[in-house]
Homo-oligomer: A and B are copies of this chain.
Amino acid sequence: MTPSSTAVDVRMACRTGKLTGPTPGLARGFVQANLVMLPAEWAYDFLLFCQWNPKPCPLLAVTDTGGFEARAVAAGSDLRTDLPGYRVFFHGDCIDEPADVRDYWRDDLVTFLIGCSFTFENALLEAGLPVRHIETNRNVPMYRTSIDCKPAGRFAGPMVVSMRPMLPEQAIRATAICSRFPLAHGAPIHFGDAAALGIADLNRPDYGDAVEFRPGEVPVFWACGVTPQAVLMQAKPPFAITHKPGHMFLTDLRDSELRS
């Protein structure tokens, strides 16, 4: 698997067990997606949650109940096998991290595919803007905030944000660029004072790795696709499956198709 592989290459490598590692940088230019599988009885509340919280949860696709092909965005795919890693939750607790979920599959599951920051990071890199965690080979730093998502049925919880240090003029260009990708978290939600989001220490992210700041840089915060996982853990549905963080689903959509 290389940056020049296609999305189909990556899905097939997952399906045949050849790829079990994270997907950043693979099949460059194809849209990667967060995955959430829920019993149909919970699907309405989750769909409404995504509707009210489009910045952390921009919906790319929803399967029919019991369907495991993401027809609209990846013809011929099998959502049970085509990701390199999954997380299986019972009542909000992660009980397994398997490489496929055929053994856990149930006919009442609905799968939600949610846009991912990799799409806008590619656009930032192409514009010559810094993406520090990529430059320094780390995972993006992510923080639980004091901002509540808009609740929907049984789903509620704090917004999780990702953070990238930038000079103010870079943050302004990044805002203009990311505004054009509403299905990949869109424009930043905040910059500057981390305490305004309830973040006590930028050096201690809740997920991912801390990154360095250079002179003049301020933190810039984007709504993050980890939000639905945090909300799932809080709502504790009896059963749920997600992707393993960083181990995303490769769609056949091109990043440029997501540009508004």
Q: Is A48 an interface residue when CB atoms closer than 8 A count as contact?
A: yes
CB contact list, A22-65 vs B, under 8 A: 43-44, 47-48, 50-51, 59, 62, 64
CA gap between A44 and B59 in the complex, in Å: 15
Who on chain B is nearest to A44 by CB?
Answer: B44
Chain B positions within 8 Å of A64 at CB level: 153
Q: How would you classify the secondary structure of chain A's contact residues: helix, strand, loop or mixed?
A: helix
Chain B positions within 8 Å of A153 at CB level: 64
Contact A62 B48, beta carbon cutoff 8 Å: yes
Contact A51 B44, beta carbon cutoff 8 Å: no
CA gap between A64 and B151 in the complex, in Å: 11
Who on chain B is nearest to A64 by CB?
Answer: B153
CA gap between A43 and B47 in the complex, in Å: 11
CA gap between A59 and B48 in the complex, in Å: 10
Chain B positions within 8 Å of A43 at CB level: 44
CA gap between A51 and B253 in the complex, in Å: 18
Who on chain B is nearest to A50 by CB?
Answer: B51
CA gap between A62 and B59 in the complex, in Å: 17
CA gap between A85 and B62 in the complex, in Å: 35
CA gap between A170 and B59 in the complex, in Å: 34
CA gap between A44 and B50 in the complex, in Å: 13
Who on chain B is nearest to A43 by CB?
Answer: B44
In the assembled complex, the CB of A65 is this many whole angstroms from the nearest CB of chain B, namely 9
Mask of A56-97 contacts with B, CB within 8 angstroms, 1/0: 000100101000000000000000000000000000000000
CA gap between A44 and B47 in the complex, in Å: 8
Chain B positions within 8 Å of A50 at CB level: 51
The 7 closest A-B pairs by CB, nearest first: A44-B44, A47-B47, A51-B59, A48-B62, A43-B44, A51-B51, A47-B48
